Structures are given as C-alpha cells and as structure tokens.
C-alpha cells in the first residue's frame, strides 16, 4: 500500500556562515521539528558558484550535542575539524556522518583546493536525532567515501540509487542492498538519480516517517502528485511503498526512519529531551566541557 502524501512544501532560502547559501526544507512551513523523526533538519546548500580565493568560506567553530550531522556532497569539496580530533576532506559523492552525542566543537569550510580553484558547491546536510539512551555517549565520526556507497542501477541502467544508510530492496525484494553508514535507530538515506521517463518503486517500512526531497528536476509521486526542485513531500506513516516517476532528469533524496517517540527540547545547536538538559548543554559548552578546537 502506498504511503499517502501528507504535505508538499517549498524549501525556504537562508544563509549559514559565510559560505553556505541554503534552502531549508525542514523544519519549515510544511514539516515541523520532530514531525519527520528521527530526521530534524534538511538544508540544501547551493548549487552556488564561488570565484577563486585565498580565504576559505564556511561555518566557523560551533558546538553540537544530542544528535548527528550528515553531510552529503554533490559538487565541490569540504573540510571538517572537530574537538574530538577528527578531520577530513570530502568531495563529490562522499558523506560525512558526525555523531555529536555528548558534545563537541567543530568547523566546516570549503577545502583549500576548492577555495583556490573556485567552482560550484552543492551539499545536503541533515540533522538526525538520537534516542535519549545515546545522547550522552562519546562522539564518533564516519567518513564514507563515494567508493564505499553501493550504487544500484535501475531502469535503463543509467538511473541508479545510492544506498547511504539503511537498505534498498532491489527487483521486488529479490535482493537487498545495504548502506555503509552505522546508525542508532532504523533509517534509510537514499540518493536517487532518475532519467526522464524512468521510475522507481520503493519498498519501505510500514509505520516509518518518510520524505522525498527534490534537489533537481521533477518527479511524479504515487502516480498523482508532483514534487519539483527544492520541494519536500512528507508522507503519512501508514503504508509500505512509494513510487517515483521522473518527469525530467531528477536528483532526489529519500529519507525514511522509525520515529523516536520521545520529547524534543531544542535550542540552537543542541537537541535534548528536556529544558534542563539544554541548560546543562549551554553551561558545558561555555565551560569547555565539549572540548576546544585547535588553531588551524
């Protein structure tokens, strides 16, 4: 049974730091904070062209606690450093999965090579909530390269699904392809590329929260509604299938996950369960308990 669309909404423009011109699909007018649990935030940065420079742009040092950030690069290159000692550079097709958990400080900037050469930057960043039992574990970092992510051809073979997290059931359940990301709750993150005229039948979990976000193009959903560039469709939980048909060459992100049925207390870069935990997070950050980012 198809999952019914609950709402289709347009992402809202904003800016993060000095190098990420974004369209925020959630939370927003169509998807409130927690309505798509475990997913909290979806920011689509770019595509934006940058001239060559000697000064990397991006988001300077800032803290996080209680959730994970997932950064998917479509074009360009980013560099990351955090107070847990992790660092890395990710380019097209790569994914950075950072579990802030008990707290850390990090920065995200255009890579030095991208800064010097200039070019087009396009990324998606998700915030994924953690259940209460994992909010205060030690931070961790997963750098997932494009070569680690299975790309399953569909239709003519020129369309495909990249399985970043969770699983994708191929050919009507004859085979299941699993993504490399390690997650704390059941969830699927699928990067879908469909040529015009081709279609995809997705098998999902009944009861999960599901959304489809279009980075590019236009897709018909469940043979009825359409989702166009910078629009997000949120589905009802009931049902175990979604059908996508590309009306144009399209790039879409499919998110589906088992809801975390716990209270959400949110303030800026902290997502906890109670206001007292938020106050503690602010205090811990200001007293240095989330670590210090070494000078770059």
CATH at residue 213? 2.60.120.10
Range of the domain at 210: 151-257
Q: Grade residue 172 by pLDDT with cuts at 50, 70 and 90.
A: low
Residue 3 lies in a domain: no
Are 36 and 124 found together in one domain?
Answer: yes
Are 176 and 58 found together in one domain?
Answer: no
Are 250 and 281 found together in one domain?
Answer: no
Are 167 and 112 found together in one domain?
Answer: no
Give the per-residue pLDDT at 15.
86
173 has a pLDDT exceeding 70: no
271 touches 66 (CB < 8 A): yes
What single-letter DSSP state applies at residue 3?
P
281 has a pLDDT exceeding 60: yes
Mean pLDDT over the full length of the chain: 95
Q: What is the pTM of this model?
A: 0.96
Beta strands 265-267 and 218-221: pairing type? unpaired
Are 83 and 175 found together in one domain?
Answer: no
Helix (H, G, I), strand (E, B) or coil at 158: coil
What single-letter DSSP state applies at residue 136?
T
- CA-CA-CA-CA torsion for 258, 261, 263, 267, nearest 10 degrees? 0
Are 140 and 179 found together in one domain?
Answer: no
Residue 226 lies in a domain: yes
Most confident of 13-22, 112-121, 169-178: 112-121
Helix (H, G, I), strand (E, B) or coil at 276: helix
Are 166 and 181 found together in one domain?
Answer: yes
For residues 51 and 165, give the distance between their C-alpha atoms in angstroms, rounded to a whole number: 34
Quote the number of domains for the chain.
2
Are 251 and 174 found together in one domain?
Answer: yes
Query: Quick one: the chain helix, strand, coil %, rounded to 5?
Result: 10, 55, 40
Are 155 and 142 found together in one domain?
Answer: no
44 has a pLDDT exceeding 80: yes
Are 70 and 168 found together in one domain?
Answer: no
Are 138 and 281 found together in one domain?
Answer: yes
6 has a pLDDT exceeding 80: yes
- Out of 3-7, 16-20, 156-160, 258-262, pick the least confident: 16-20
For residues 254 and 236, give the distance between their C-alpha atoms in angstroms, rounded to a whole number: 14
Q: Which tens digits make up the pLDDT trace of 230-278?
A: 999 999 999 999 999 999 999 999 999 999 999 999 999 999 999 999 9
Residue 1 lies in a domain: no
Are 117 and 37 found together in one domain?
Answer: yes
Q: Could you report how far apart the first and last alpha carbons of the chain are, in Å?
A: 52
């Amino acid at each position: 049974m198809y999952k019914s669309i609950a709402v289709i909404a347009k992402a809202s423009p904003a800016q993060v730091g000095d190098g990420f011109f974004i369209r925020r699909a959630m939370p927003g007018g169509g998807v409130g904070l927690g309505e798509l649990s475990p997913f909290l935030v979806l920011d689509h940065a770019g595509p934006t062209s940058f001239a060559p420079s000697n000064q990397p742009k991006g988001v300077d040092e800032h803290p996080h606690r209680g959730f994970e950030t997932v950064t998917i690069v479509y074009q360009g290159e980013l560099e990351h450093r955090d107070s847990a000692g992790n660092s890395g550079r990710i380019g097209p097709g790569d994914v950075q999965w950072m579990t802030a958990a008990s707290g850390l400080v990090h920065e995200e900037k255009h890579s030095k090579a991208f800064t010097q050469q200039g070019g087009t930057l396009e990324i998606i960043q998700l915030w994924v909530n953690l259940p209460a039992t994992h909010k205060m574990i030690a931070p961790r970092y997963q750098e997932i390269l494009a070569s680690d992510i299975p790309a399953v051809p569909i239709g003519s073979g020129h369309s495909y699904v990249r399985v970043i997290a969770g699983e994708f059931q191929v050919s009507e359940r004859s085979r299941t392809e699993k993504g490399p990301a390690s997650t704390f709750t059941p969830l699927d993150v699928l990067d879908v590329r469909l040529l015009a005229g081709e279609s995809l039948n997705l098998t999902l979990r009944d009861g999960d929260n599901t959304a489809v976000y279009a980075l590019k193009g236009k897709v018909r959903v469940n043979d009825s509604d359409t989702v166009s560039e910078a629009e997000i469709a949120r589905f009802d939980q009931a049902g175990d299938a979604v059908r996508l048909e590309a009306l144009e060459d399209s790039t879409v992100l499919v998110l589906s996950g088992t809801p975390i049925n716990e209270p959400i207390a949110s303030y800026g870069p902290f997502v906890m369960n109670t206001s007292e935990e938020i106050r503690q997070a602010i205090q811990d950050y200001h007293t240095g308990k989330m670590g210090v980012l070494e000078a770059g």
